[in-house]
Amino acid sequence: MDTGLTKEQLHQFELEIVELFKNNQISSPIHLRSGNEEKLIDLFKSISQEDYCLFTWASHLECLLKGVPSEEVKAAILRNKSIALCFKDQKIISSAIVGGNAPIAVGLAMSIKLKKETNHVWCFIGDMAFYTGIVQEAIRYSEVHDLPITFVVADNKISILTPTREFWGNYIVDAAKKSSKCIYYEYKNGFPHVGIGGKAML
């Protein structure tokens, strides 16, 4: 699907959220992303309206690109839903637990296969999530049973402030690229993990 949203429009949305946060109109943590807008715009050209998307705690841009109107995304953020955005009409489920979206995504993919439907499941994860046991199990099960699912591995090389490679090495590059169920890309998040008014923000 192609919403026509540009890199600049996506970035502008995040900047608006920053302003709302600074003005204390949002009273929960928010997680912002930049630097991957072009990758996401390109990726969503392969995603259809009927596909399920399982996102993480940082999914403002993905929700916009899946077709949720910006005012709806903003309204949900203002209701303190930023880190677990769910929009049933757009088949979006997000989880603020690292790797928590992966097994749900596998179940959805299994349901599609059993019902002989034609849509697909896209499960978005980060580099630290990739190494968790639950994500490895989810990928492995999906490969062995050839489920209609793709894990989108977005590697920004850091988890909060912890450098992923210091603990897990460089395995992710080969492992994700070799998997028939993974798409891998690297990016650098333009929004640092900072605190504003004593509230955490990434």
Partner 1 sequence: MSGKMNYLEELEKSMLWLAEKNDTIFLGQGIKCGGIGMAETFKKIQPEKVFEMPIAENLQLGMCTGLSLNGFVPISVYPRWNFLLLAADQLVNHLDKLSIMSDGAYKPKVIIRVAVGVREPIDPQEQHVGDFSDGFAAMLKTVNVVKLTVAEEIFPAYKYAYERTDGVSTILVEQHQA
Query: Cβ of residue 26: shortest distance to partner 1, in angstroms?
Result: 17
State whether residue 149 is helix, strand or coil. Answer: strand
Report the alpha-carbon distance of residue 46 to residue 39 in Å, rounded.
12
Applying CB under 8 A, among 64, 102, 176, 201 the residue interacting with partner 1 is: 102
Q: 117 is written with which tokens?
A: 């439907």
Cα 6 from chain centre: 18
Applying CB under 8 A, among 1, 20, 78, 86 the residue interacting with partner 1 is: 86
Applying CB under 8 A, among 64, 93, 128, 129 the residue interacting with partner 1 is: 93
Asked if 71 interacts with partner 1 (CB under 8 A), we say: no
- CB neighbourhood size of 59 (10 A): 29
Asked if 87 interacts with partner 1 (CB under 8 A), we say: yes
For the chain, list the strands marked E by DSSP.
52-55, 92-94, 121-126, 149-155, 158-159, 162-163, 182-186, 194-196, 199-201
Asked if 21 interacts with partner 1 (CB under 8 A), we say: no
> By CB under 8 A, what part of segment 36-55 binds partner 1?
52
Q: Which stretch binds partner 1 (CB under 8 A): 22-30, 57-65, 93-101, 178-186?
A: 93-101
Applying CB under 8 A, among 30, 105, 158, 201 the residue interacting with partner 1 is: 105
Asked if 176 interacts with partner 1 (CB under 8 A), we say: no
Query: What's the angle, vertex CA 80, arms to CA 78 and CA 83, rounded to 5?
Result: 115
What residues contact residue 187 under an 8 Å CB cut-off, 6+ apart?
35, 36, 39, 154, 155, 156
Asked if 78 interacts with partner 1 (CB under 8 A), we say: no
Contact residues: partner 1, CB under 8 A: 52, 81, 84, 86-88, 93-95, 97, 100, 102-112, 114-115, 134, 137-138, 141
